Amino acid sequence: MDIQLNGKRMPVAAGITIGDLIREKGLAPTTVVVEHNMTIITAADLDQITLKEDDALEILRFVGGG
């Protein structure tokens, strides 16, 4: 199945949650902000939402520095 991730089409496994995808990408769920189909998702809900064909995700990472 395919989704849009940060504007690019990519295949993902059927039944994968947003939290699973974030961890699969090597990211910590506490260091990202996720928009799913134009709705901001709370960290508590990342493992509750199963992705579907053509879903759109934007994942933004927090970057520290100074």
Is residue 15 situated within a structural domain?
yes
Is residue 22 situated within a structural domain?
yes
CATH number at residue 39: 3.10.20.30
- The range of the structural domain enclosing residue 31 comes to 2-61
Residue 31 gets the label, from left (phi > 0), alpha (psi -120 to 50) or beta, of: alpha
The confidence score (pLDDT) of residue 19 equals 97
9 DSSP β-pair partners: 4
CB 56 within 8 A of CB 2: no
pTM: 0.90
Q: Is the model's pLDDT at 66 over the cut of 70?
A: no
Is residue 37 situated within a structural domain?
yes
pLDDT in tens, 9-35: 999 999 999 999 999 999 999 889 999
Q: Is the model's pLDDT at 63 over the cut of 90?
A: no
CB 17 within 8 A of CB 51: yes
Is residue 66 situated within a structural domain?
no
Would you place residue 62 in the very low, low, confident or very high pLDDT band (cuts 50, 70, 90)?
confident
Number of structural domains found in the chain: 1
